[in-house]
Amino acid sequence: MSAAQSQTTLESLQCHFTWDLDRSRPKLLLLTHKMEDFSTEEGNRWLGHIYNLWGFIQYKLGLNEEANSLFQKAMEALNKLRKADEGPWLVVNYGNLAWLHHHLGDQAESQAYLSKVDALMEKYPSPSQDDLHPEICAEKAWTLMFFGEDKKLVVDYYEKAARMHPKMVDWNTSYVIWLKKVKNFSDTRLDRDLLEKMRQAKERDPENLYLAALYLEQRANKRENIRDEVCELAENVSSNCSNSGMWALLNLYIEHISVDEAVKLAEKVLKEHPDVRYLKKFVALCYRWRIIYKSSSSPEQSTMDRAIALHEELISLYPHSSLKREIDLATIYAKSHHSKVKAEQIFQKLLKNEPAEPEDKQMLYNIYANHLYFHQNDSHRSIQYHMNAAAIPEISFSRENSIRILEKTKDRGIMCREIEEFLRNLQEPRQ
């Protein structure tokens, strides 16, 4: 096969290399944290997909040997889950390996994987002539959860996979979960059909902590009292402390029970699983919530010490997201009468070494602006940093928040001319 023919064949594959998964290096590094955490979840049923995506990320970072190792792990995990040596679940994996070996210059090995893809697709054609194979739909949906901007596309792929293969409980669960996520963004009104779909999915997938927590949240939105059921859900959480599920449960505790009880639950589960990195992150986030949003006065020193120690540990545990951890640490210091100087020192260090990503700059400027207003009583500098955040033409929560604050500040008659002119000349964000 000629090089030109090989390239055409490679480009027709359905795999991570052909799905237009584009992210900057800092964002790819952040995704490695997520893949690492997901891979440590005991019994994670998406482990094969995790290794496939993680392998592709390593390739994009220039780590080819690590990529190959993870693709091999993906193959093993998928076969183990399906209890078979080979099947259509390997089409994406073989496609990834074909592309990787092509880039490594090993065309014979690349061609061997291309032949395996052809054999699988011939042996296991898609049940629908108009759609991709359900195994490909499911993996593409799972991947686009982390790379895709279009949440409805994730729902569509999960729905197609579940419709073509209704016995795959995980696919139906993911379809319902993402249907709820899309509803949250597009329509805040309660959807009876969605609630029923969630109930049915929960019956089929009773061990899914994340689905159970989202179902309770949806019922709470309907003004049901879910307090007892939240506590009941937490009783067996130690044996089912998945990453997304545990955080969803802690959010229910914060919203419907108390942040103090959320801290106790998080500490209890961490004590039972002391080496699980993401549990340390959740405990730290609960303390941060307690200190920043739930304390009208300075928290007890023991609470501050625990929160600070956890956040300092997280900076080393999650080196690629250290900016967010350091900002959180600074905001915690700012709540203590004895540590405000340390908060300012951290902020000045971060401002001196500005982050490269526009969204990160916006976040830093926005949070520092709020710090100046609430903790330094410096309204004018606060306004300037909100302007700095808003001036970066990138859509983000931080930018929108700074714009809203500037508009409210203008309405109160503070620097109204300067703010009016600034907002009038504000550049539209990039789409």
User: Is 109 part of a structural domain of the chain?
Assistant: no
Burial bucket for residue 426 (CB in 10 Å: 0-12, 13-18, 19+): middle
Give the per-residue pLDDT at 4: 40
Written as six digits, the tokens of 340 are: 């405000």
> What is the number of domains present in the chain?
1
DSSP string for residues in 66-93 = HHHHHHHHHHHHHHHHHTSS--GGGHHH
User: Is 393 part of a structural domain of the chain?
Assistant: yes
User: Is 264 part of a structural domain of the chain?
Assistant: no
User: Is 315 part of a structural domain of the chain?
Assistant: no
User: Is 377 part of a structural domain of the chain?
Assistant: yes
DSSP bridge partners of 430: 394
Q: What ranges in 129-168 are assigned the alpha helix state H?
A: 134-147, 151-164
Give the per-residue pLDDT at 3: 43
User: Is 369 part of a structural domain of the chain?
Assistant: yes
- Residue 224: φ, ψ to 5°: -85, 150
Distance CA 25, CA 169 (A): 34
User: Is 423 part of a structural domain of the chain?
Assistant: yes
Residue of 65, 73, 107, 109 whose CA lies nearest to 93: 73
Q: Who's near 179: CB < 8 A, 6+ residues apart? A: 155, 159, 194, 197
Burial bucket for residue 89 (CB in 10 Å: 0-12, 13-18, 19+): buried
Written as six digits, the tokens of 235 are: 């009783």
Give the per-residue pLDDT at 336: 80
pTM, full prediction? 0.91
Cβ-contact 282, 246 below 8 angstroms: yes
Give the per-residue pLDDT at 122: 93
User: Is 115 part of a structural domain of the chain?
Assistant: no
What does the pLDDT look like over 243-276, one tens digit per residue? Answer: 999 999 999 999 999 999 999 999 999 999 999 9
Cβ-contact 145, 111 below 8 angstroms: no
What does the pLDDT look like over 370-419, one tens digit per residue? Answer: 999 999 999 999 999 999 999 999 999 999 999 999 999 998 888 889 99
**By residue range, what is the domain housing residue 374?**
354-431
